[in-house]
């Protein structure tokens, strides 16, 4: 038997050519490991963002359910219900303060005999209505109890008016703070100038 030199197509030749590819395979593995880490980090970020969004949605869902339930359950709501809706919208108020605001702005009457009943203007606008209910007393006497209710149109109207008023009040307060800061700055400058003149 004679010894033959391996040709370029033999196994030995192929093994020699495969050896230089090992470093690139390691580089590929490192690259894929880094890519996987990036993908895992991105997925974690997306998961956290989704969880935050779902939590925010859950908070808002309760508010929407309340407003929908109030609006669908009857044609009109009480002033206390509107105060609750305003509070959930970020406007700090209660039933009594809302009654007072409505009297001050001419939506409710302030006369003792017709205290907190809608004005003619409110009735004509269709934002308030008066509900009358017969109440039988302990001695069998019948009294008519009148209360003010806010219509669906009124809910939208008051939410808009009160939100705009709150924004205007916030802007005025910010302007007052800015003017006070400017006055304080000018007074400091005057005091400093007087100190320098006296020294």
pLDDT single digits (tens) 2-47: 555 555 555 544 445 544 555 576 666 777 778 788 888 888 989 8
pLDDT for residue 127: 92
Same domain, 108 and 143: yes
Number of H helices, E strands in the chain: 6, 3
> Do the Cβ atoms of 159 and 89 come closer than 8 Å?
yes
**83 lies in which domain range?**
75-187
Enter the tokens of residue 134.
């017969």
Question: For residue 63, is pLDDT > 70?
Answer: no
Same domain, 104 and 182: yes
Report how many domains make up the chain.
Answer: 2
> pTM score, two decimals?
0.52
C-alpha to C-alpha distance for 23 and 26, rounded to whole angstroms: 5
* Mean of per-residue pLDDT scores for the chain: 80
Task: Please report where in the chains the tokens 């869902």 appear, as a residue.
Answer: 61
Task: Please report where in the chains the tokens 């924004």 appear, as a residue.
Answer: 167
Same domain, 54 and 130: no
C-alpha to C-alpha distance for 17 and 26, rounded to whole angstroms: 16
């Amino acid at each position: 038997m004679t010894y033959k030199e391996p040709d370029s197509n033999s196994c030995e030749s192929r093994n020699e050519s495969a050896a230089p590819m090992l470093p690139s395979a390691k580089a590929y593995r490192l690259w894929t490991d880094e890519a996987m880490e990036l993908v895992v980090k991105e997925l974690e970020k997306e998961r956290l963002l989704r969880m935050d969004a779902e939590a925010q949605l859950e908070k808002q869902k309760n508010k929407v359910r309340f407003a929908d339930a109030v609006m669908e359950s009857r044609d009109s709501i009480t002033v206390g219900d509107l105060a609750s809706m305003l509070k959930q919208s970020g406007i700090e108020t209660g039933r009594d303060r809302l009654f007072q605001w409505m009297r001050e702005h001419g939506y409710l009457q302030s006369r003792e005999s017709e205290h907190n009943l809608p004005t003619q203007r409110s009735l004509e606008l269709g934002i308030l209505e008066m509900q009358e209910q017969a109440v039988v007393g302990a001695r069998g006497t019948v009294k008519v109890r009148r209360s003010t209710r806010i219509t669906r149109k009124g809910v939208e109207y008051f939410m808009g008016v009160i939100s705009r008023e709150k924004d205007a009040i916030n802007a005025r307060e910010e302007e007052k703070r800015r003017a006070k800061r400017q006055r304080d700055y000018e007074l400091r400058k005057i005091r400093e100038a007087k100190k320098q003149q006296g020294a």
